Structure 1
C-alpha cells in the first residue's frame, strides 16, 4: 500500500500574541532618579497585565541619537504601539545636547515615516515633554524654550494622524509643579510618573489594548 505524507503547516496568528508596546524616549522614559517600580514601564505593566512593554528610553538622548538606534531599539521588535517622548534634551542649552527645532522636526518625521513604511498597522503615540521648574538652573532649559518643541510634537501628530498624549498640557494645569519633579527641576518624581501614567493611560484605553 502506498503511503502519502502530507506537509504540516504551523499557523501563527498575531491575534493570539500579547500586544507589544515600545516606550521610546530619553531619561523620562527610562525612569532616571526613581526606583524601577515607579517608572512608566512598571506602572503600565501593573495595569495592562497581558501587554508586553519594552522600555527603550536612554538617559541623555536627543532625537539625533534616537534616530541612530531606531532600528535596533524599536523596529526590530515589530511593535503594535510605539510611544515617542523626546524634546527635553533637544531644547536644552548645555552639554552639547541642543538640537535646533528644524532638526528636531526632521528627526521625528523620519522615524514616524519609517514606522509607517515598515508596519502600517503600528499605532504611534506622540508625547509632549513635561514642563520644567524655571527656578532651577540644572535643567539647562526653560518652559519658553520648551514650548515650540511641544508645539512641534502636536503638529507632527496632526500631520501624520497619530495619537497624542499631551503630557505638557496635562502637567501645566497642576498647581504645585515641584511636587511632580525631582530636585533638578526636570526629571519626574514618583508623583510625576503617576501623572505620566494617567495621561498615557487615557490614550492607550482608546486603542483598547
Structure 2
C-alpha cells in the first residue's frame, strides 16, 4: 500500500530537521499500525503552486499508484509577487480546478482515500505581509483564508476527506496567543511547535484512512 503526500514546503518540511517534520512522524505511525504494509512517499516540493503540481502529477503521483493521498497546496498559489502586477500567482478559479484535477488524477491512479488540507494562517502584520506586492488587493493572510474556502468547496464537490487545518489553527494556537511561536521567523513556514501541531491534526485522519483500508 502506497501513501503519497503531495504538497509544497509545508509538507516537505522546510527549515527543520528531518526527524521533526510532521510527515516523517506520521510515516512512522503508518508503518507501525500497518505492520510494514504501508510505504509512504513524500513527493512535496518547496515553492510549488497547484500549477507546478499538475506539471509533475504524472511521475510524482500517478506513477506511484497510491491507495491513499494527502494533498495540500495554496500558500504559494495565493501569494502576490511584485512581477505579477497585483495578481495572485494562481487565480482563485484556476486554483480550485487545479485541485479538482489533482484529485481526479489521484483516483485514476487507484487512490481509494484522498485527504485534502486547508492551510494555516500567517501571523498578523508579520514578515510575509511586508513582502507581498503593493498592488495586492488585501493582506496575504486574508487571501489565504479565501483560498482555504475554495479548498472546502472542492472537498465537498469531490467527496474527499477535508482536514481543516485553518479552523484548528484558529481554535488552537491563535486562541492561545501562540500563533507566532508555531511559525518560523519568516512568518510562513512551521517551527518545531508548528510541525507538532500538524502531526496532531493531520495524523489522526491519515491513520484512520489507513486503518479503514486495512480492515
TM-score bracket for this pair, using the shorter chain length:
0.7 to 0.9
Gaps of 5+ in 2: 133-138
Q: Which residue does 1:5 correspond to in 2?
A: none
Is residue 23 from structure 1 mapped to residue 5 from structure 2 by the alignment? Answer: yes
Give the one of 110, 115, 129 matched to 2:106.
115
Q: Which residue does 2:149 correspond to in 1?
A: 151
The structure 1 segments of at least 4 consecutive aligned residues displaced by more than 6 Å after TM superposition are none
Calculate the TM-score normalised by the size of structure 2. Answer: 0.83
Q: Give 1 or 2: higher helix fraction.
A: 2
Q: Aligned runs of 1:1-209 on 2, under 5 Å?
A: 19-49=1-31, 50=36, 51-94=38-81, 98-119=89-110, 121-138=111-128, 140=132, 142-173=140-171, 174=173, 175=176, 176-209=178-211
Structure with the larger RCO, 1 or 2 (CA within 8 Å, 6+ apart) = 2
Larger radius of gyration: 1
Secondary structure of 1:48's match? helix
Alpha carbon RMSD of aligned pairs, Å? 1.6
> In 1, Cα distance between the equivalents of 2:10 and 2:165?
12
Gaps of 5+ in 1: 1-18
Number of aligned residue pairs: give it: 190
